[in-house]
């Protein structure tokens, strides 16, 4: 198991934020991992295990998730604030070049980071997200985000995750669902299993137009010339095939599109086709 340090930084509005720092060589840009809406740094544990030592991996808990503090103002749970938080960390670490791996919401943050400081991005991975989000996916996400559940055991939590995500990962076993539950949930002080995020992250998300912020196609265009890997689940209801194809056309020669068969929103980044795509992406970054 790769060793990592739990580290922290402060946001402009006084929220203590957390990241896992997996060590790697200083002569390569670090990989900055940005998780999805209700997810956290634990989602990238397997990826970090594969890459640690070869690359420095920094896996972030966005505000209101995981080990990061909860914001006093729930309307700060928006992509532009996450961008400011990430920029604060990059400044504190004096990182002037990095590779961004963004899953879902993290991919939106990645595109916005490209819009503000493209020269810092040495490579990018956009995991099952694009400038346009499918209506069906948005509707589904709105049905569960911000709704708290508690469970007496991890097996109860795993079965609940299975019921909500069976269409996304149709080949998962109960072992897989248990692993996913332990990434999504935590044990609270009362001994109950609870979701590991602030339920108030749903407040701005439910306001129409707040899902992504500004014109995301213009933000995506800032990745032109940057080695980029787009990952799409073939069963995804968030990133449609037409949007993915348009993204690939927009970015041109420096992009690769990998579609993961039999998976919805989102691929785990551990699928063989994605692992190979990541290896090719990082080889391009290294050269």
| pLDDT, tens digit only, all 287 positions of the chain | 678 999 999 999 999 999 999 999 999 999 999 999 999 999 999 999 999 999 999 999 999 999 999 999 999 999 999 999 999 999 999 999 999 999 999 999 999 999 899 899 999 999 999 999 998 998 888 888 888 889 999 999 999 999 989 989 999 999 999 999 999 999 999 999 999 999 999 998 767 655 544 579 999 999 999 999 999 999 999 999 999 999 999 999 999 999 999 999 999 999 999 999 999 999 999 98
Residues 22 and 102 in one domain: yes
Comparing CA positions, the residue from 207, 215, 212 lying closest to residue 146 is 207
Residue at 140 is within a domain: no
Residue at 26 is within a domain: yes
> For position 209, what pLDDT does the model report?
56
Number of domains forming the structure of the chain: 2
CA angle 275, 279, 283 (to 5 degrees): 170
Beta-bridge mates of residue 259 = 232
Residues 57 and 186 in one domain: no
Residues 39 and 68 in one domain: yes
- Backbone φ and ψ for 29, nearest 5 degrees, come out as -65, 140
Beta-bridge mates of residue 52 = 55
Where in the sequence is the domain holding 153, given as residue range(s)? 147-196
> For position 214, what pLDDT does the model report?
56
Residues 85 and 106 in one domain: yes
Residues 88 and 11 in one domain: yes
CATH number at residue 219: 3.40.50.1820
Residues 39 and 78 in one domain: yes
Residue at 201 is within a domain: no
Residues 20 and 130 in one domain: yes
Residues 11 and 91 in one domain: yes
* Global confidence as pTM: 0.95
> For position 1, what pLDDT does the model report?
67
> For position 208, what pLDDT does the model report?
65
Helices 154-165 & 174-184 angle (0-180, nearest 10)? 100
């Amino acid at each position: 198991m790769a060793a990592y340090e739990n580290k922290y930084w402060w946001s402009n509005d006084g929220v203590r934020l957390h990241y896992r720092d997996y060590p790697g060589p200083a002569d390569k840009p670090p990989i900055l991992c940005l998780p999805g809406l209700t997810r956290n740094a634990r989602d990238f544990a397997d990826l970090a295990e594969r890459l640690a030592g070869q690359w420095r991996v920094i896996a972030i808990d966005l505000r209101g998730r995981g080990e990061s503090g909860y914001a006093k103002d729930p309307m700060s749970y928006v992509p532009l604030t996450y961008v400011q938080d990430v920029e604060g960390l990059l400044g504190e670490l004096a990182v002037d070049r990095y590779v961004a791996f963004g899953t879902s919401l993290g991919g939106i943050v990645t595109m916005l980071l490209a819009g503000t400081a493209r020269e810092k991005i040495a490579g990018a991975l956009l995991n099952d997200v694009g400038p346009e989000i499918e209506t069906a996916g948005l509707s589904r996400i709105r049905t569960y985000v911000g709704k708290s559940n508690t469970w007496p055991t991890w097996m109860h939590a795993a079965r609940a995750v299975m019921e909500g995500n069976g269409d996304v990962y149709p080949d998962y076993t109960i072992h897989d669902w248990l692993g996913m539950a332990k990434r999504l949930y935590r044990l609270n002080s009362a001994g109950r299993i609870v979701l590991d995020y602030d339920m108030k992250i749903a407040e701005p998300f439910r306001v129409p137009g707040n899902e992504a912020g500004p014109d995301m196609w213009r933000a995506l265009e800032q990745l032109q010339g940057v080695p980029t890997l787009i990952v799409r689940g073939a069963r995804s209801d968030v990133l449609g095939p037409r949007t993915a194809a348009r993204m690939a056309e927009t970015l041109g020669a420096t992009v690769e599109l990998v579609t993961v068969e039999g998976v919805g929103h989102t691929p785990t980044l551990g699928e063989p086709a994605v692992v190979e795509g990541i290896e090719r992406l990082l080889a391009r970054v290294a050269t």
